[in-house]
């Protein structure tokens, strides 16, 4: 194929899209081929001795390019050689003719292109004298370029300068110098030799400017390095001379001691502290530079001077704005927010009030650490966190004596150094995880830190001078208070963060967790959609926790599933609802609480509190012929066993009222069972549940399936108050219970119950057990005494520990 080829007729031939490669006519070049369709086209051209069309891709990352992804001007080449190296083929081709890509066809064996041949060097548009001028300018530009590129081979330099014609000069330069493939493509697309030389001249001028700038930068860096080496050499000479003086007084030339003293005077410390630091600086002046003791003193002074002695941040006193910040950062946590806003209000009225230390106590994942961050943001203070988990050594709190090798200040002073102000919010995380050993008790060291009467002059072993911690707002966190020493606990105001309810988890996920996980996984709201019922199902069926960490992980898992769907199947968005969650997360990990579906005898819905929220705890009673024996199963604790005995005794006192045989305690055995038998259960609030179940079983009266109850009982039938009402009522609402019987003494606790629960559940306030039985038992017309039959008892298994 030559310049005489008919260029008016379109031709179809194999096509290979190239990456970062442009081939010119008359150019011989090696390149690697790895994509299957390119390998097949190259092999086909080699075997049949036919040409193949090459055109460069605009974006090298496109795996299967279309016509729009390739440049329209390419080169027809002949394949000279193919060599296989592993999974890649090394190909030698020779450029023959320029061609224009008209159309592109994709087949299962590769690409074919419809092309139109073009002249390699069409009729010149420039005047002959202009072409000669461009020829000479390009030759001169290349000489300047070669001077800035010393690695150029002499043979190539001589060959290019020996070019006789403009075409020969262009090809010699374009084929051999390093250019970007965009520049090579522009040169290929230029039609006449005059246009090619003009473009080549522009490219060379740009490269000359870049190389010149690079040379200047290189010279500056080399000069700077030489100056640094010279300075280092002089300093080493000074050190050697001072060493020869053998410790005689010799002030160092750099004047560091004087600078230290000047900085110490500016701190405005008390007289004793300033005198201590100045004496250390004067000692440094008489020591050889580089000696071990000089290094110790230098590190000591640097540490002390880096502390924020006189740096304070201005507190934000706008309580309304602080309330908005807390509400934006956290959903719920009413008590915590109220206490924080009260603290801000007191500070606004009495800025000098100090010593208020908050201790946030709650299970993992309920937001203790993030609440502390929000407090700092609401106050406008710097925030710093000190992790105390696993701290055993007192020196971690107080620091080491500076005379020891590797000594450093304690965690408190380090935290003050990091925060950069004297009045930060300092979070002492996991204070219940501290322990002690032969190296001392860190809890005792924390007493001075948290005591408002002592921490205005806290002494760290390393800095040795008093440091004022009275302006610091300390916030501590703990999972339990059982392991916190009593004197330490006495210095803190405890605020409990209980487990989140179902509604709180839903709102936290809706307002915070979904947005956070979308940002972490590169998704937008339009790409990831999750329905409300899906969030509820995540909470109920896939997580069981006090906090929201596992819920956040579950949402993150859905985000990853959505990302894969979008990338793999080229979809625009993925939607999740309650019906398709199992497709992505597998089967439900937690089943709903056991609730009676219909009214039945001897089965009552009790309410229990667990560490991860409230649950429905059914209680079953079976009456058997026997001798008055009471059988208790279901892993019941001592308190629940006592409640069972009280319930039986009280049933004897009201037997006549409900048509129960007065001698049942002699002729009938009672089997009381709490399902999920492997789960330990204890607590007094199952008393009313037991009495209701026993009365129902003995009298034959059915118990309403839509009623749940909780309450402690006495022998006289009084119903006493219980704890955990908020969690228990949420469990009743979640299980679909319509009526909830609670002690009258807990009426005031309804303020803490979620609004949605109060809207959907009717509350009955019971003062005595009669109030409970009147609501729970179903009155039957023509009631007859139940003929009790002997039935075998069943045992069940379970997993969660509950407290009732």
Q: Which of 668, 681, 728, 734 is catalytic?
A: 728
Q: Which of 252, 498, 685, 696 is catalytic?
A: 685
Give the chain's radius of gyration (CA, Å).
42
CA distance 136 to 750: 96
Establish whether 511 is a catalytic residue. no
Cβ neighbors of 747 (< 8 A, separation 6 or more) are: 765
Q: Give the pair of three-digit tokens for residue 607.
A: 């309410």
Q: What is the DSSP letter of 500?
A: P
Does the CA dihedral 693-695-700-702 come out positive or negative? negative
CA distance 507 to 330: 10
Cβ atoms of 87 and 23 within 8 Å: the answer is no
Burial state string for 414-430 with b = 16 or more CB within 10 A and e = fewer than 16: bbbeebebbbbbbbbbb
Establish whether 728 is a catalytic residue. yes
Q: What is the DSSP letter of 768?
A: B
Query: What does the DSSP assignment read for 274-285?
Result: HHHHHHHHHHHH
Cβ atoms of 602 and 699 within 8 Å: the answer is no
Does the CA dihedral 773-778-782-788 come out positive or negative? negative
CA distance 233 to 307: 34
Long-range CB contacts (< 8 A, 24+ apart) of 592-596?
592/540, 592/735, 593/617, 593/731, 593/734, 593/735, 594/618, 594/675, 594/676, 595/705, 595/735, 595/736, 595/737, 596/703, 596/705
**Residue 630, exposed/middle/buried by CB under 10 A (0-12, 13-18, 19+)?**
middle
Question: In this structure, are strands 702-703 and 707-709 parallel, antiparallel, or unpaired?
Answer: unpaired
CA distance 448 to 359: 16
CA distance 504 to 539: 10
Q: Give the pair of three-digit tokens for residue 239.
A: 């050190």
**Which amino acids are annotated catalytic?**
685, 728
């Amino acid at each position: 194929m030559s310049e005489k080829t008919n260029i008016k007729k379109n031709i179809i031939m194999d096509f290979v899209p190239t990456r970062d490669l442009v081939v010119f006519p008359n150019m011989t070049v090696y390149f690697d081929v790895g994509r299957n369709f390119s390998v097949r086209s190259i092999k086909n051209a080699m075997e049949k001795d036919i040409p193949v069309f090459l055109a460069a891709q605009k974006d090298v990352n496109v795996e299967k390019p279309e016509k729009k992804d390739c440049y329209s001007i390419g080169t027809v080449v002949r394949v000279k050689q193919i060599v296989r190296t592993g999974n890649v083929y090394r190909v030698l081709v020779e450029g023959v003719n320029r061609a224009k890509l008209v159309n592109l066809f994709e087949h299962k064996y590769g690409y074919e292109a419809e092309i139109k041949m073009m002249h390699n060097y069409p009729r010149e548009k420039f005047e002959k004298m202009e072409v000669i001028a461009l020829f000479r300018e390009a030759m001169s530009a290349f000489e300047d370029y070669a001077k800035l590129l010393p690695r150029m081979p002499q043979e190539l330099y001589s060959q290019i300068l020996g070019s006789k014609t403009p075409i020969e000069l262009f090809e010699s330069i374009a084929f051999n110098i390093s250019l970007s493939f965009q520049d090579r493509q522009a040169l290929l697309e230029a039609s006449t030799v005059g246009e090619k030389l003009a473009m080549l001249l522009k490219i060379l001028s740009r490269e000359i400017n870049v190389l010149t700038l690079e040379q200047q930068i290189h010279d500056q860096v080399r000069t700077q390095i030489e100056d640094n080496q010279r300075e280092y050499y002089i300093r080493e000479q000074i050190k050697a001379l001072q060493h020869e003086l053998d410790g005689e007084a010799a002030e160092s030339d750099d004047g560091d001691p004087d600078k230290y003293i000047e900085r110490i005077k500016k701190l405005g410390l008390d007289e004793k502290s300033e005198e201590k630091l100045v004496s250390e600086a004067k000692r440094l002046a008489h020591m050889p530079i580089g000696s071990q003791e000089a290094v110790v003193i230098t590190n000591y002074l640097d540490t002390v001077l880096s502390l924020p002695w006189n740096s304070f941040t201005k507190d934000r006193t706008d309580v309304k704005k602080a309330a908005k910040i807390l509400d934006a950062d956290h959903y719920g946590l009413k008590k915590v927010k109220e206490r924080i806003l009260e603290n801000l209000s007191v500070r606004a009225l009495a800025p000098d009030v100090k010593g208020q230390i908050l201790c946030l106590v709650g299970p993992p994942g309920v937001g203790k650490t993030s609440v502390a961050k929000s407090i700092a943001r609401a106050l406008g203070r710097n925030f710093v966190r000190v992790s105390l988990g696993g701290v055993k050594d007192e020196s971690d709190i107080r620091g080491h004596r500076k005379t020891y090798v590797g000594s450093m200040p304690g965690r408190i002073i380090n935290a003050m150094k990091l925060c950069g102000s004297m009045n930060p919010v300092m979070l002492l995380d996991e204070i219940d995880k501290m322990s002690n050993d032969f190296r001392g008790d860190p809890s005792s060291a924390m007493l001075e830190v948290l005591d408002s009467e002592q921490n205005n002059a806290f002494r760290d072993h390393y800095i040795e001078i008093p440091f004022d911690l009275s302006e610091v707002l300390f916030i501590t966190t703990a999972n339990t208070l059982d392991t916190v020493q009593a004197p330490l606990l006495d210095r803190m105001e405890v605020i409990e963060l209980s487990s989140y309810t179902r509604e709180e988890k839903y709102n936290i996920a809706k307002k915070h967790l979904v947005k956070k996980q979308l940002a972490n996984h590169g998704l937008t709201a339009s790409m990831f959609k999750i329905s409300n019922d899906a969030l509820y199902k995540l909470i109920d069926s896939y997580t069981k926790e006090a906090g929201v960490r596992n819920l956040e992980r579950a949402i993150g898992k859905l985000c990853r599933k959505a990302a894969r769907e979008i990338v793999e199947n080229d979809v625009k968005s993925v939607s999740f609802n309650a019906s398709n969650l199992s497709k992505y997360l597998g089967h439900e990990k937690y089943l709903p609480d056991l609730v009676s579906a219909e009214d039945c005898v001897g089965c009552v819905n009790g309410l229990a509190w667990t560490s991860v929220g409230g649950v429905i705890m059914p209680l079953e009673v079976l009456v058997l012929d026997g001798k008055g024996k009471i059988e208790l199963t279901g892993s019941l604790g001592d308190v629940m066993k006592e409640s069972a005995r009280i319930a039986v005794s009280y049933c004897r006192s009201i037997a006549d009222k409900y048509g129960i045989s007065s001698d049942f305690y002699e002729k009938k055995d009672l089997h009381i069972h709490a399902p999920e038998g492997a789960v330990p259960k204890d607590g007094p609030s199952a008393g009313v549940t037991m009495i209701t179940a026993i009365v129902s079983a003995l009298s034959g009266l059915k118990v309403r399936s839509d009623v749940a109850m909780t309450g402690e009982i006495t022998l006289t039938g009084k119903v006493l108050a219980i704890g955990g009402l908020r969690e228990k009522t949420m469990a009743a609402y979640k299980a679909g219970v319509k009526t909830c019987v609670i002690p009258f003494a807990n009426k005031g606790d309804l303020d803490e119950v979620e609004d949605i629960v109060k809207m959907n559940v009717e509350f009955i306030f019971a003062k005595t057990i009669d109030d409970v039985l009147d609501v729970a038992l179903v009155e039957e017309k023509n009631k007859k005494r139940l003929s009790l039959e002997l039935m075998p008892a069943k045992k069940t298994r379970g997993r969660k520990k509950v407290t009732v």
